[in-house]
Amino acid sequence: MSSSSRIARRLLPLVVAPVAALSLFGSGTASAASVATWDKVAQCESSGNWHINTGNGYYGGLQFSQDTWESYGGKKYAARADLASKEEQIRIAEKVLKGQGPGAWPSCGARAGLGNDHADPYPDKPTPTDPGMTELTAGDLNADGKKDVVAVKVETGELFLYPNTGKSGLDMLGDRVLIGTGGWNGMKDLTVGDFNGDGKDDLVAAKKETGELFLYPGTGKKGLDALGDRVLIGTGGWNGMKHLAAADFNGDGKADLIAAKTETGELFLYPNTGKKGLDTLGSRTLVGTGGWNGMNKVVAARDFNGDGGPDLIATKTATGQLFVYAGTGKSGTEMFDSPREIGTGGWNGISDYAAADFNGDGITDLVAVDSDARETGKLYLYKGNSQKGGLDSRVEIGTGGW
């Protein structure tokens, strides 16, 4: 970052700045700028590294001082600018631009044409005619050996299966198939696994109103016959839990359930006993001591890091970071390793996602709905890459309406 920019923001760290100091640079009339222009400013200030922290007292792509970040409300997103997503940094920069003018970045702002661009970087999203889908999950519910996407239509409560064709890009998912006629918007935390041990994936979901937990057995059939009559496997209290995720977490060959307690943020394992009905799940075991209510999504990854065991993937609400918690093969609170970051921010702009091996390479992938105003509900595939320990660049697999 240029020394002139640093001096400017030492003089102007607060919302209410001295008028004389403001006049040194001229507040101008600019109060907004496009993302493209902010990218130019960031390229000049930090070589375009939105998460840079070199220890010089300035943070993030636009090189905020800590005083400026806090004064303009940045802490609602993250403790420091470098911990916030690109969009969050730009939203705070817009406030600085409105309050101080382009002179807050005297060298890089002028070079990028910051005072001449008046576009709104993040215009309000138009109200959709179709509210889209929710409760994304994934599994093989049509018994063809490939992992499909399952989702609830918000408006009608219908449950749809989007079959995996084995192809790529926009041809990856075939025409959706109705597998539930209504009422699914009264359910939450849908997750898929073989809970009854018959070799076919089943669906588990909690009823919002009563907190009951139900198993919908997979039949191996098609359409509205894909799921059998539901079976009660939990008598209540499940509306006090969140982030249900299914996988064989304890290595006994049966699909178990993991869930977070909303009130305390503790994470629990409910082991599959191999029995039926209300005996399907055994006594719960603590596997995470707290903080899981600070995640806005948690999914089970059957094998993300290529070691053959199940892991967890989660998004931190406050920062939009994406983390993997690798399974250790141990029990209790040692079941998962410390989190490792695999997405540096912006995942709180993802409204929903599901994990499965969609491309058949043995490594868990993600499908995700981008709810950003510029994306209008597109669906993307993020391929898992065990060699680099993260995700490949995303590929569009759904053009909108998600």
Q: Mind listing the pLDDT tens digit for each residue in 341-361?
A: 999 878 888 989 999 999 999
Give me the mean pLDDT over the 143-151 stretch: 97
Candidates 382, 391, 388, 249; CA nearest to 312 is: 249
Is 312:301 a contact under the CB 8 Å cutoff?
A: yes
- Local structure of residue 33 (DSSP, 8 states): -
Give me the mean pLDDT over the 99-121 stretch: 91
Give me the mean pLDDT over the 86-102 stretch: 92
Spell out the residues 6+ positions from residue 161 whose beta carbon is closer than 8 angstroms to its own: 141, 142, 148, 149, 150, 176, 177, 178, 179, 226
Candidates 247, 227, 223; CA nearest to 187 is: 227
Candidates 55, 70, 74, 60; CA nearest to 105 is: 60
pLDDT at residue 21 tops 80: no
Q: At 90, give phi and psi (nearest 5°).
A: -65, -40
Residue with tokens 């018994």: 143
* Distance separating alpha carbons of residues 287 and 246, to the nearest angstrom: 14
* Distance separating alpha carbons of residues 157 and 236, to the nearest angstrom: 22
Q: Could you tell me the pLDDT band of residue 125, with boundaries at 50, 70 and 90? A: low
Q: Could you tell me the pLDDT band of residue 126, with boundaries at 50, 70 and 90? A: low
pLDDT at residue 192 tops 90: yes
Top-confidence residue, 306 or 276: 276
Q: Residue 26's pLDDT is what?
A: 36
- Local structure of residue 345 (DSSP, 8 states): S
Spell out the residues 6+ positions from residue 328 whose beta carbon is closer than 8 angstroms to its own: 309, 334, 335, 336, 337
* Distance separating alpha carbons of residues 282 and 301, to the nearest angstrom: 22
* Distance separating alpha carbons of residues 33 and 384, to the nearest angstrom: 35
Q: Residue 78's pLDDT is what?
A: 84
Which domains are present in the chain?
Answer: 35-112 (1.10.530.10), 133-398 (2.115.10.10)
Q: What's the pTM value of the predicted model, to 2 decimals? A: 0.69
Q: Could you tell me the pLDDT band of residue 274, with boundaries at 50, 70 and 90? A: very high
Residue 149 is inside which H or E element, if any?
Answer: strand 148-153
Whole-number average pLDDT of the chain: 88
Burial grade of 6 (CB within 10 A; 0-12, 13-18, 19 or more): middle
Q: Is the dihedral of CA 187, 191, 193, 197 positive or negative?
A: negative
* Distance separating alpha carbons of residues 103 and 60, to the nearest angstrom: 18
Candidates 49, 52, 87, 80; CA nearest to 66 is: 80
SS3 state at 109 = helix
Residue 245 is inside which H or E element, if any?
Answer: strand 241-247
